[in-house]
Amino acid sequence: MTDEIRAGLEGEKTIEVTPELTIASFNDELPAVYSTPSMILLMELAASEAMEPYLPAGHISVGVEVSIRHLAATPVGEKVTCTARVLEITRNLVKFEVEARDEHRLIGTGTHTRAIIELARFVQGLQQRGEKPESEHKSSR
């Protein structure tokens, strides 16, 4: 399943920091600087885009682990670029080295692991979780 994904494969994603991407959007008492959750999302997107062209038909990748250090604050208006580079592949798991840089410096670093899964099976599992057993339907009436 991961035959075409190789160590060293890279993906990159760039955004401009907007007020919605800052920690102040969650708590207006905090400064309007790029939030850690927003940085992690951009790292995940860079990794996902690196893998996407190599996934088998009907498969997607999902994030399963992050280990990230947020090193510096980035204000609204600056651009942030995240790079994800494949470190290793184990069965259906792909581990990336990730880093984020703003226009001046390194702002984040760490690792991120994604799992390759069959989309139809994943959706079926979600649907089954959402259905209550017949006995629960009757007791809730």
36 catalytic per annotation: yes
Listing DSSP states for 21-75 in one string gives: GBGGGT-TTS--BB-HHHHHHHHHHHHHHHHGGGSPTTEEEEEEEEEEEE-S--B
Residue 38 has what DSSP assignment?
A: H
Closest CA to 72 of 33, 28, 41, 40: 33
Q: Which of 4, 12, 20, 36 is catalytic?
A: 36
Active site residue 90: no
Please check whether residue 78 is in contact with residue 72, taking contact to mean a CB–CB distance below 8 angstroms. Answer: no
- As a whole number of Å, the CA-based R_g of the chain is 19
Among residues 22, 59, 70, 74, the one annotated as catalytic is 70
Spot the catalytic one: 44, 59, 112, 113: 44
Annotated active-site positions, please? Answer: 36, 44, 70
